Amino acid sequence: MKVNDLKAILKFSAKEEAMFGRFDFPKDAFYPMILSLKVGGAWSYSTDDLKSISVMKVFTNYNNETKIGHTIEEVYLFLNPEYVSKEGTVYRLEKCGGRDERALVTRPYSVTLKAERIIVASISTEKKKIFIKELDERTVSFTGPSAFYAAHEMEHLEHIEIDGLPMWAFEYEEVKN
């Protein structure tokens, strides 16, 4: 690793610690958000008295005239989340952690979660900034992929083993024109 890269990483980490230190939270509650910011995806963390998950929503602002777009990722951090509601059923392929293959699982199409506190990090690829704020609301609803991720991470908090039909249960079939 180059010295300048190492310096930039250390500077970023110090700013990150200062930002998250502004919230009256146990530091380890931020682990899921930090992982979502740095490696993507949704994450969960739990101890006997603390549970937190991160869930991402991704949007694209695209200009049809210039043919240039930028994504905005919103990473929601829920402190001690609970379900308010779940609706619908979607069959989808997922892979989790140490599993070697994807499995066919069911997920709700929409979920509403409530939490003691909710922090949102909005990442602007256009501005190269991460905007952090605490929501006044204590509930957030998700649909589609964000709902799937939320349900998956809630299973982790509930210590439910993610289980489904393995990929090798599918059959190949040739389609002729």
Query: What pTM, to 2 d.p., does this model score?
Result: 0.91
- Give me the DSSP letters along 30-85: GHHHHHHHHH-S-EEEE-SS-EEEEEEEEEEEEETTTTEEEEEEEEEEEES-EEEE
pLDDT score of 97 = 74
**pLDDT at res. 96:** 82
Would you state the pLDDT for residue 47? 92
The whole-number pLDDT of residue 162 equals 79
State residue 163's pLDDT score.
Answer: 81
How far CA 93 is from CA of 6, 73, 172, 176, in Å, comes to 38, 23, 16, 25
Burial 105-121 (b: 16+ CB within 10 A, else e): bebbebbbbbbebbbbb
Q: How many CA atoms lie within 13 A of 161 on its CB side?
A: 4
DSSP label of 125: T
- Give the per-residue pLDDT at 169: 92
Q: Given this model, what pLDDT does residue 55 score?
A: 97
Residue pLDDT tens, the chain, 177 long:
789 989 998 999 899 888 888 998 888 999 999 999 999 999 999 999 999 999 999 999 999 999 999 999 999 999 999 999 999 999 999 988 777 788 999 999 999 999 999 999 999 999 999 999 999 999 999 999 999 999 999 999 988 887 889 989 999 999 998
